């Protein structure tokens, strides 16, 4: 086999969209050896943890992972597994392309955006202090002593760290990405006028690093202004470079612009490892019913093929998805159809096999 890939089906609709994706990628026939490992509620029941160490080890060994969504149980004191995975493997860059696909009814036909999101810092760094805890009280005292800040006694606290090192690498990643993917512009979203020392640092570092990429246009925009511009004129934007929290929110906004969460793929990339996964979550409302749209995960698989150097196979899969969407007969309920997850996958896989004769 030419490639080893750790496959983590996840939970909720994860196993359904993962099987569908495996069917399509096997049809692309690039010699993938699948190493299947558990995570999420299935792993919690069997191993007592949401992200077992053996699953992380499998990714470290294969270096590439393809992952379905994982539920974060609410209220049990669980930290998001997804956040832990990205931090644990230092997958510092999330890449989430949102392009208008053929046959999907949307308002703005010319959308072709890529969100590049910093994945390890910011309010998602996991530095939190529970309301009423001794740690929260100690931090309140410290803040009073340091700067005269008075926090209410019943406040919960989340800390927002943004570093030069963390920002520099994501900025350089975004500009390199723009260069190698024939993109013209990088737009940095921030709220530096309010959060001067976190977003301000992000903006200043981005501005400094941009000098090394004179061939790529760059602009900065306040995040609130960006949301309204994206709603009205999304085609004006190209690569969006964002700190962690804004990147999460804007990715879903971009998903909405091109037809919904069932269509948006994603990649989490670090220096050593890469894990590909759809932007959507485990969708408990439709899990186990065969209604989940597998296209987001199939397109995540195409991103993975490109990352592994299988460019023709990646183009093949993307072309096959376009063909199926354009013809319109086979689609899941989120796109107004009545087909099942597996029927969509089988249709895409058939097109993938037909590619041998070239796009027609």
Catalytic residues: 124, 191, 224, 248
The candidate with the shortest Cα–Cα distance to 277, out of 82, 62, 61, is: 82
The per-residue DSSP string of 132-153 comes to T-HHHHHHHHHHHHHH-----T
Of the pair 62, 71, the CB lying nearest ligand NAD is at 71
Q: Does 55 bind ligand NAD (CB under 6 A)?
A: no
**Which of 154, 182, 215, 285 touches ligand NAD (CB under 6 A)?**
285
Q: Does 18 bind ligand NAD (CB under 6 A)?
A: no
Only one of the segments 103-111, 185-193, 275-283, 310-318 lies at the binding site for ligand NAD (rule: CB under 6 A); that segment is 275-283
Only one of the segments 161-169, 194-202, 288-296, 301-309 lies at the binding site for ligand NAD (rule: CB under 6 A); that segment is 288-296
Of the pair 71, 187, the CB lying nearest ligand NAD is at 71
Rounded Cα–Cα distance for residues 185 and 14 (Å): 34
Q: Does 269 bind ligand NAD (CB under 6 A)?
A: no
Q: How far is the CB of 214 from ligand NAD (least distance, A)?
A: 36
Residues 210-249: x/- map of binding to ligand NAD (CB under 6 A)? Answer: ----------------------------------------
The candidate with the shortest Cα–Cα distance to 67, out of 245, 244, 291, 304, is: 304
Q: How far is the CB of 12 from ligand NAD (least distance, A)?
A: 6
Q: Does 293 bind ligand NAD (CB under 6 A)?
A: yes
Q: Does 292 bind ligand NAD (CB under 6 A)?
A: yes
Q: How far is the CB of 260 from ligand NAD (least distance, A)?
A: 7
Token pair, residue 286, equals: 């439709």
Q: Does 268 bind ligand NAD (CB under 6 A)?
A: no
Q: Does 166 bind ligand NAD (CB under 6 A)?
A: no
Q: Does 72 bind ligand NAD (CB under 6 A)?
A: yes
Only one of the segments 163-171, 179-187, 238-246, 285-293 lies at the binding site for ligand NAD (rule: CB under 6 A); that segment is 285-293
Rounded Cα–Cα distance for residues 223 and 117 (Å): 13
How far, CA to CA in Å, does 176 sit from each of 79, 94, 170, 185, 204? 32, 14, 10, 11, 18
The residue count for binding ligand NAD (CB under 6 A) is: 21
Q: How far is the CB of 68 from ligand NAD (least distance, A)?
A: 7
Count of residues in the chain: 360
Rounded Cα–Cα distance for residues 248 and 33 (Å): 31
Rounded Cα–Cα distance for residues 70 and 92 (Å): 19
Could you tell me where the beta strands, DSSP code E, fall in the chain? 3-8, 32-36, 64-67, 93-99, 112-118, 128-129, 157-158, 185-190, 217-222, 239-242, 267-269, 274-276
Burial 193-224 (b: 16+ CB within 10 A, else e): eebeebbbbbbebbeebbeebeebebebbebe
Only one of the segments 128-136, 165-173, 199-207, 292-300 lies at the binding site for ligand NAD (rule: CB under 6 A); that segment is 292-300
**Which of 123, 136, 283, 325 touches ligand NAD (CB under 6 A)?**
283
Q: Does 286 bind ligand NAD (CB under 6 A)?
A: yes
Token pair, residue 157, equals: 């606290």
Of the pair 104, 286, the CB lying nearest ligand NAD is at 286
Rounded Cα–Cα distance for residues 210 and 60 (Å): 32
Q: How far is the CB of 71 from ligand NAD (least distance, A)?
A: 4
Q: How far is the CB of 70 from ligand NAD (least distance, A)?
A: 4
Rounded Cα–Cα distance for residues 73 and 69 (Å): 13
User: Angle formed by the axes of helices 295-307 and 14-28, to 10°?
Assistant: 50
Q: Does 334 bind ligand NAD (CB under 6 A)?
A: yes
Q: How far is the CB of 3 from ligand NAD (least distance, A)?
A: 22
Site residues (CB under 6 A) for ligand NAD? Answer: 13, 17, 69-72, 82, 261-262, 277, 280-286, 292-293, 296, 334
């Amino acid at each position: 086999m030419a490639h080893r890939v750790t496959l983590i089906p996840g939970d909720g609709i994860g196993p359904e969209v993962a099987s569908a994706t495996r069917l399509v990628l096997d049809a692309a026939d690039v010699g993938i050896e699948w190493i299947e490992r558990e995570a999420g509620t299935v792993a919690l029941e069997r191993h007592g943890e949401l992200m077992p160490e053996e699953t992380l080890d499998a990714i470290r060994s294969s270096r590439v992972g393809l992952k379905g969504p994982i539920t974060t149980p609410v209220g049990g004191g669980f930290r998001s597994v997804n956040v832990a995975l990205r931090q644990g493997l230092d997958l510092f860059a999330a890449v989430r392309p949102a392009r208008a696909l053929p046959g999907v009814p949307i308002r703005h036909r010319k959308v072709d955006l890529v969100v590049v999101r910093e994945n390890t810092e910011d309010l998602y760094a996991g530095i939190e202090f529970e309301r009423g805890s001794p740690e929260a009280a100690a931090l309140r005292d410290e803040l009073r002593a340091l700067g005269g800040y008075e926090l209410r006694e019943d406040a919960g606290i989340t800390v927002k760290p943004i570093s030069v090192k963390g920002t520099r690498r994501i900025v350089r990643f975004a500009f390199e990405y723009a260069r190698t993917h024939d993109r013209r512009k990088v737009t940095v979203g921030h709220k530096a006028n309010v959060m001067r020392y976190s977003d301000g640092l992000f903006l200043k570092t981005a501005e400094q690093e941009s000098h090394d990429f004179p061939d790529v246009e760059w602009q900065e925009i306040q995040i609130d202004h960006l949301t309204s511009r994206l709603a009205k004129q999304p085609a004006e934007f190209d690569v969006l470079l964002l700190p962690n929290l804004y990147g999460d929110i804007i990715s879903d906004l971009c998903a909405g612009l091109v037809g919904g969460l069932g269509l948006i793929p994603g990649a989490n990339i670090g220096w050593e490892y890469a894990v590909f996964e759809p932007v959507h979550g485990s969708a408990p409302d439709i899990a186990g019913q065969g209604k989940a749209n597998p296209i987001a995960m199939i397109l995540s698989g195409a991103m993975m093929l490109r990352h592994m150097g299988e460019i023709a196979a990646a183009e093949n899969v993307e072309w096959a998805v376009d063909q199926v969407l354009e013809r319109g007969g086979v689609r899941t309920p989120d796109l107004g159809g009545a087909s099942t997850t597996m029927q969509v996958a089988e249709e895409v896989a058939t097109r993938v096999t037909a590619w041998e004769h070239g796009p027609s």
